[in-house]
Structure 1
Amino acid sequence: MDSPVLTRREMRGAQPADTAPDPLNQTLHHAAIARLHRLIDECGDTGVSDMHIHPDKPMRRLRSGKLFIPDGSEVVFSQAEIMMWLDEATEGKHDPLNPRGHASVALATEKYRVRGTFRKSLQGVTVTFRIIPGVVPDVDAIGVPQVIQNLIHRDSGLLIMEGPTGSGKTTAIAGLIKLANKTYDKHIYMVEDPTEFVHEEIGATSIVQREIGTHVVDYPTAIEDALRSKPNIIVVGELLNAATAKAALHAATTGHLVITTAHAGSITEALDSFIGQFTADEQPQIRSRFSQSLLGIMVQKLVPTVDGRLTAAREVLLNDLNFTEIIRDDKMQMIRARIAGSKGCFTLEDSLADLVVKNAITIETAIGAAKNPDDLRETLARKGVNL
């Protein structure tokens, strides 16, 4: 027998002051939420990472990077059901899709947390749900390099996780926070949009988790507020704009370890993107501050393995005096060569070549994922791989 599902409104015991509850609407609303919760649990239990739902169309599921519709078990939702989910997730907010045309939300069943994005489209209001594992991962289990793990011990500076949406940036940060939580008694302040992993405090560690739109209006405001509580570590969900980048940089240069994400596909792109958010007049000063506060950058990309799963290929920069000078003096053309000659640093092509040597991925997969296929071929040849 299914456990009763309480909606957010029922848990709050709230009703609009001037509106009498409609029993039929309440029943339909409750049924729509219960059906969604059951499906989320089913998908999570079978390794599905994403659910793509369009009104009156079979739901697509994503597992190991491949979209599919299960044979003989098509699931279809109406536009009315999707709007009930949106109403529930936004707690009845009036017209939540305006003015941006989309809304990011967080939901939870008894087993899983879910990140959802509702958006207007030609097909109506559609939604994508990403299922978050119920257990915060260990950094070793997800393969975060030791050189990146070591940065969690630093007292101040900026660590940036880069990569496309769905590449595991948030998961990597969650693993690092779990490591800090287990290892040190620290004050950790996290602000995300939305919150994905929920961290349980260990020992004397204090963890504050806030969500944009629910607990605070935007990232710059959240970072400013964080500084008043003297945290050791500040997690900023995403460097959305210059204001967020400037606030994160200020925090990193005033005695805080700041960990954040962005969407670049390489180290060089990451550096150019960060600086490029600012005006030409601001850039010289930003370059100087950024070059001195940056601890490291990890770019991550998921690639299919030979056994049909996904694994991460990475590119890593660890800042040192040479990189500081290169960034400060805007000599970005030197970055790639410097990565190749720096201890602890490696390119995406190095990582892909290692995966080929371990027989984790095919040569064709590696070449397709490489930013510089010719460099990859040279690296594979040096490692004795026949092309």
Structure 2
Amino acid sequence: MDLLLAKTMEKKGTDLHLCAGTKPLMRVNSELMEVEDSEKILPDQISGFVHAYLTKFQLQELQREKSLDFSYSRRNLGRFRCNVYYQRGTYAIAIRALPIEIPQFENLGLPEVIKNFTARPKGLVLITGATGSGKSTTLASLVDYVNTNYKYHIITIEDPLEYLHSHKNSMITQREVGGDALDFASALKSALREDPDVIMVGEMRDMETMSTALTAAETGHLVLTTLHTSSAVKAIDRILDVFSKEQHSQVQSQLATVLEGVVSQQLLPKADGSGLIAVAEVLVVTPAVRNMIREGKHFQVSNLIQTGVKQGMVSLERTLAKLVREGVITHEVGFYKANDSQLFENYLNQPNL
């Protein structure tokens, strides 16, 4: 295992996939490729690693749930986020490399306005995107920025722990679901009794967690969390969809009150093949946005993003068009990744729009 991870890190790979009957695959610059000088993996090899590393309780959870997230650390290699699951009755593992050092926000290449959300005394900030879009890294960098610049009590709730934060100007406590807490919802409820200023929730997966996060933001805490959506509008849709229609009016009112910003990010391959670049759509919640959410007209928010440059809004389509004109990404990537491909073409053909 360590040899495979070392080869993956040597190639600057982000992920390693182990599945019985095939050679190990690593993802480099978004492309899957075989690990050099490797052989097909046997079921017993994966099983040996799983049974050697997981605790008795983790193995029981794996057998019950059929998949399990856990973290794996090796000196001189780093930390890794692992997901072990069943396929054809045998184990398979997906492993993601985590940088040992928490990257500074300024080095992520994301819009500076995102950092300003950490200055909010309370409210809800959503970092959204697909799996592998860099949400966890952005979240960790924002937590580190708060940790460095404010005297706060920060609580993180994660499954599993990804980045290890040290106490800086703030006190930071990190709770891992499964080890330090039963689940996100119970950990979040407990956090409200632990005098936090900032709460970072690794992911809002269910109605109970979302409801408690909204309450936490309402009661004077800054809540930073993630969702698997591709735009600000879809993030609001996702939250509403979890609740019954009878609850929508109440949830819309809560969201209109507590939501401070939504960042929907992606990692795109550069045109020259040298790596990936982060891009993001940014919704800064203004009084006009709050009114739209409260009235159930949040589908119109995308129009405000396009026209709200002075308020700090960042249009994904405008950003993609700029990167294509500069030769940073290809036209194909820009067109494919835009939420509105026609709007992307308009910005590309009329730079002054």
2:196 counterpart residue number: 231
Deviations 1:53-87 (A, max 9, x none): 0124210010110100145x124433223223223
Confirm whether residue 359 of structure 1 aligns to residue 327 of structure 2.
yes
Deviations 1:285-327 (A, max 9, x none): 1110111100000001121111211112211100011000000
Q: Which runs of 5+ in 1 are unaligned?
A: 1-35
Of the structure 1 ranges 366-375 and 254-263, higher mean CA displacement relative to structure 2 is found in: 366-375
Confirm whether residue 101 of structure 1 aligns to residue 66 of structure 2.
yes
Confirm whether residue 315 of structure 1 aligns to residue 286 of structure 2.
no
Confirm whether residue 382 of structure 1 aligns to residue 347 of structure 2.
no
SS of the residue corresponding to residue 127 of structure 1 reads strand
Equivalent residues in 2 for 1:1-387, closer than 5 Å: 36-71=1-36, 73-93=37-57, 94-110=59-75, 111-122=77-88, 124-203=90-169, 205-308=170-273, 309-342=275-308, 343-383=311-351
CA distance in 2, matches of 1:237, 1:146: 22
SS of the residue corresponding to residue 27 of structure 2 reads strand
CA contact (8 A) 2:109 2:277 kept: no
CA distance in 2, matches of 1:221, 1:355: 43
Deviations 1:165-223 (A, max 9, x none): 010000001111111111112111001111111111114x1111111111100111111
CA distance in 2, matches of 1:154, 1:265: 24
Deviations 1:66-119 (A, max 9, x none): 100145x12443322322322344313343323322111111111311111111
SS of the residue corresponding to residue 181 of structure 2 reads coil
SS of the residue corresponding to residue 259 of structure 1 reads strand
CA contact (8 A) 1:44 1:112 kept: no
CA distance in 2, matches of 1:89, 1:188: 30
CA distance in 1, matches of 2:292, 2:67: 39
SS of the residue corresponding to residue 98 of structure 1 reads helix
1:6 counterpart residue number: none
CA shift at 1:154, angstroms?
1.3
CA shift at 1:282, angstroms?
1.1
1:19 counterpart residue number: none
CA shift at 1:338, angstroms?
1.3
CA contact (8 A) 2:84 2:94 kept: yes
Deviations 1:155-174 (A, max 9, x none): 10000000000100000011
CA contact (8 A) 2:72 2:80 kept: yes
Q: Which runs of 5+ in 2 are unaligned?
A: none
CA contact (8 A) 1:301 1:312 kept: yes
SS of the residue corresponding to residue 236 of structure 2 reads helix
SS of the residue corresponding to residue 151 of structure 1 reads helix
Alignment-mate amino acid for residue 352 of structure 1: L
Alignment-mate amino acid for residue 341 of structure 1: T
SS of the residue corresponding to residue 273 of structure 1 reads helix
Deviations 1:106-155 (A, max 9, x none): 11111311111111112721111001011100111112321110111111
Give the TM-score normalised by the residue count of structure 2. Answer: 0.95
The percentage of counterpart residues that share the same residue type is 28
**Are residues 100 and 54 of structure 1, via their aligned partners in 2, closer, same or farther at CA, if it must alter by over 3 Å?**
same
Cα RMSD (Å) of the superposition? 1.6
CA distance in 2, matches of 1:38, 1:69: 14
CA distance in 2, matches of 1:377, 1:321: 30
CA distance in 1, matches of 2:52, 2:314: 45
CA distance in 1, matches of 2:248, 2:100: 42
CA distance in 1, matches of 2:343, 2:118: 31
SS of the residue corresponding to residue 223 of structure 2 reads strand
**Are residues 70 and 87 of structure 1, via their aligned partners in 2, closer, same or farther at CA, if it must alter by over 3 Å?**
closer
